Amino acid sequence: RTSVRWCQALLVALLVYACVPAMAQEKFPSKSTEIIVAWAAGGATDVLFRSIGAVFPKHANGQQLIVKNIPGGGAAIGYAEAMKAKGDGYTIVASATPMITKIHMSKVPFTATTFAPVIMLADNSCMVMVPADSPFKDLKDFVEAARKRPGEVTIGNAGSGGGYHMVALAFQNFTKAKFNHIPFEGGGPAITAALGKHVDSIIVSAPEGVPQALAGQLRILGIFGPDRLDKFPKVPTAKEQGMDFALTMWRGVIAPKDTPPAIVQQLHDILKKSMEDPEFKKRADELSVELRYMGPEEFGKFMVSEDARYKELIVTEKMGDRYK
């Protein structure tokens, strides 16, 4: 009998032990998850993740996604801070094209492989916006003015050395024009500056500026992408205006490098469900966000390829100060 009881006790213990990992796995997340956004509130990346945050609890055991803005240094400060985070799944990081461009525009402590890729969510065409009563009617007017008055036409960006700054420099090189580049601590402040007519123009990507453009406060001169935006069918692409120039801004999620693969996968699954949530998709459509999905492995390879592409562009066009 003692032997039978011992076997029964052992069996119960083994069953309980076997269930513990599954129970722990089902419990994640058991508290709020914080996402570091390396730009000020109101920019495209910030707006995207606040929109994701609105549906995140439905797919994450009721737990919240809290956006933590750490702007400054063309996103360098936010990513440097994110490098200190624990890899426990409760701190994740917003990734975007400007992270890659910043690596090659300036000397920073991070690379394209410093963090673990989780998911890619969106890829949006860049665009030039001006105040509604701007004298510029299209990209040709805009470029001609910059050629006639070199260094006088101002163009705001979301941070020195960041993605939009790089796009503006690339457009400047492409058109042989000369703009005065004004950096801000994110797309939100740049939009505020355009609304206040403190700058002649800004370069952004959806959802930045979309509500203001729909309200008639800002006007889009041209789209740096392959197609016109559904919400602005009358606004032509740069190519349609005789300028074969296109650059986009992608956005996704990365995590501290030491985050366990199982946790990365769970974060991916939660975010993918959030991305596919009808409420979020409706909001993304309202904001003209072009959704584009990639899983961890594919997104990781994509980031490495983007790293090589932008390094070549920045070195060839002699942008930034890293390679001088």
Let me know: does 218 contact 209? Beta carbons within 8 Å: yes
pLDDT of residue 23: 39
Neighbours of 238 (CB within 10 A): 25
Q: Both tokens of residue 303?
A: 């980031």
CA distance 295 to 182: 35
pLDDT of residue 313: 85
pLDDT of residue 155: 97
Let me know: does 129 contact 200? Beta carbons within 8 Å: no
Radius of gyration of the chain (CA): 23
**Beta pairing partners, 66:** 34
pLDDT of residue 24: 41
CA distance 17 to 210: 53
Q: What are the pLDDT tens digits along the chain (324 aa)?
A: 555 455 455 554 445 444 444 434 458 999 999 999 999 999 899 999 999 999 999 999 999 999 999 999 889 999 999 999 999 999 999 999 999 999 999 999 999 999 999 999 999 999 999 999 999 999 999 999 999 999 999 999 998 888 899 899 989 989 999 999 999 988 899 999 999 999 999 999 988 999 999 999 999 999 999 999 999 999 999 999 999 999 999 999 999 999 999 999 999 999 999 999 999 999 999 999 999 999 999 999 999 999 998 998 889 878 888 998
**Beta pairing partners, 168:** none
318 burial via Cβ count (<10 Å: 0-12, 13-18, 19+):
exposed
